[in-house]
Amino acid sequence: MKKTLFTVALCCVGLVASAQQSNDQASRVSLQMGMAFPSGDFKSTELSNIKSGYAHDGVFISASYTQDLNKNFGVGATWAYRNHPFNIAPYAEKYEAYAYEIEADPYVSIYATIDAYAQLPLNKFTAYAKGSAGYGAFRPAALSGTVVYENGSTLQFSSDPGRSGSGVYGIAGGVRYNFGHFGLGAELGMIAAKPEFNVVIDGEVKDLKQPMHTTNLSLALSYRLN
Q: Of residues 202 and 131, which shows the higher confidence score?
A: 131
Query: Is 2-19+32-224 a CATH 1.20.1260.10 domain?
Result: no
Q: What is the pLDDT of residues 180-191, one digit of tens each?
A: 999 999 999 999
> Per-residue pLDDT averaged across 202-221, rounded?
85
Choose the weakest-confidence range: 52-56, 58-62, 175-179, 201-205: 201-205
CA 80 to chain centre: 8
Choose the weakest-confidence range: 14-18, 79-83, 154-158: 14-18
E strand residue ranges, the chain: 27-38, 58-68, 73-84, 99-104, 107-122, 125-139, 143-148, 154-159, 164-179, 182-193, 196-201, 204-209, 214-224
C-alpha distances out from residue 123 to 129, 178, 208, Å: 17, 9, 49
> Per-residue pLDDT averaged across 116-127, rounded?
94
> Per-residue pLDDT averaged across 120-140, rounded?
95
Choose the weakest-confidence range: 25-29, 62-66, 92-96, 130-134: 92-96
Q: What is the pLDDT of residues 16-44, one digit of tens each?
A: 444 334 446 899 999 999 999 999 999 99
For residue 23, the model assigns a pLDDT of: 42
Helix (H, G, I), strand (E, B) or coil at 188: strand
pTM for this predicted structure: 0.81
For residue 200, the model assigns a pLDDT of: 61
Cβ pair 191, 170 in contact under 8 A:
yes
Domain locations along the chain: 2-19+32-224
Amino acid at the residue 215: T
